[in-house]
Structure 1
Amino acid sequence: MLNATPSSITVFDIGGTYLRWADWSPGHGLSRIQRTPSPSRARLPGTAVDELQSLLVDAVAQPVPPDGVAGISMGAALDHRTGTVYASAPLWGAHERPFDLLAALRSARPDVRWHIVNDVTAALLHLADTPVAQARSKILLATISTGIACRSIDRRTGAIPVDGCGLQGEIGHLPVSVALDGGPVELRCDCGEPGHLAAYSSGPGIRRLGEVMRDGRPDRWHASGIGTRLSSGAEFEPAFVAALDEGDPVATRLLDAATGPVADVVRTALCLDPQLDLVAFTGGVAVALGHHYRASLLRHLDRSGLYLTSERDPGWLRDRIVVCGPGQADGLVGAGLATLSGEAA
Structure 2
Amino acid sequence: MAAQIQLDPHGPPALQWRLPRLAWPVTYGREPVVSQPIVVLDVGGTHFRWATWSRDGGLGQIRQVPTPSVANGTAGPVEELRARLVAMMAEAVPHGGVAGVSFGAALDHRSGTVYASAPLWGACTRPFDLMGALSAARPDVRWHVVNDVTAALRHLAAGPVGRDRRKLLLVTVSTGVACRVLDLRSGLIPVDGCGLQGEIGHLPAATSVAGGPVELCCDCGGSNHVASFSSGPGLRRLAGVLRDRDPRGWDAGPLAGPAPFGQALVSALDAGDPVAGELTRAATSPMADVTRTALCLDPELDMVAFTGGVATALGGHYRAALLGHLGDQGLYLTSGLAPAWVAERLLVCARGEADCLVGAGMAAEQAWVS
- TM-score band (shorter)? over 0.9
* Structure 1 position 335, deviation (Å): 0.3
The one of 259, 275, 283 aligned to 2:284: 259
Query: Which shifted more, 166-175 or 61-70?
Result: 61-70
Counterpart Cα distance in 2 of 1:6 and 1:96: 36
The alignment status of 1:129 with 2:154, answered yes or no, reads no
Matches within 5 A, 1:1-345: 5-7=33-35, 8-227=37-256, 229=257, 233-344=258-369
8 Å CA contact 2:39, 2:99 repeated in 1: yes
Once the two structures are superposed, residues 264-294 of structure 1 have per-residue CA deviations (whole angstroms, 9 ceiling, x without a partner) of: 0000000000000010000000000000000
Compare the two structures and name the one with the higher helix fraction: 1
TM score, norm. by length of structure 2: 0.89
Counterpart Cα distance in 2 of 1:253 and 1:32: 38
* Letter of the 1:285 counterpart: V
8 Å CA contact 1:13, 1:73 repeated in 2: yes
* Letter of the 2:128 counterpart: F
* Structure 1 position 340, deviation (Å): 2.3
Counterpart Cα distance in 1 of 2:162 and 2:34: 26
Q: How many residues align structurally? A: 341
8 Å CA contact 2:109, 2:195 repeated in 1: yes
* Letter of the 2:149 counterpart: V
The unaligned stretches of length 5 or more in structure 2 are 1-23
TM score, norm. by length of structure 1: 0.96
8 Å CA contact 2:45, 2:72 repeated in 1: no
* Letter of the 1:202 counterpart: S
Counterpart Cα distance in 1 of 2:185 and 2:71: 41
* Structure 1 position 32, deviation (Å): 2.6
8 Å CA contact 1:141, 1:281 repeated in 2: yes
* Letter of the 1:234 counterpart: A
* Letter of the 2:246 counterpart: R
Counterpart Cα distance in 2 of 1:243 and 1:313: 33
Counterpart Cα distance in 1 of 2:171 and 2:77: 30
* Letter of the 2:216 counterpart: L
Once the two structures are superposed, residues 86-111 of structure 1 have per-residue CA deviations (whole angstroms, 9 ceiling, x without a partner) of: 01111111111001000000000001
Counterpart Cα distance in 1 of 2:181 and 2:49: 24
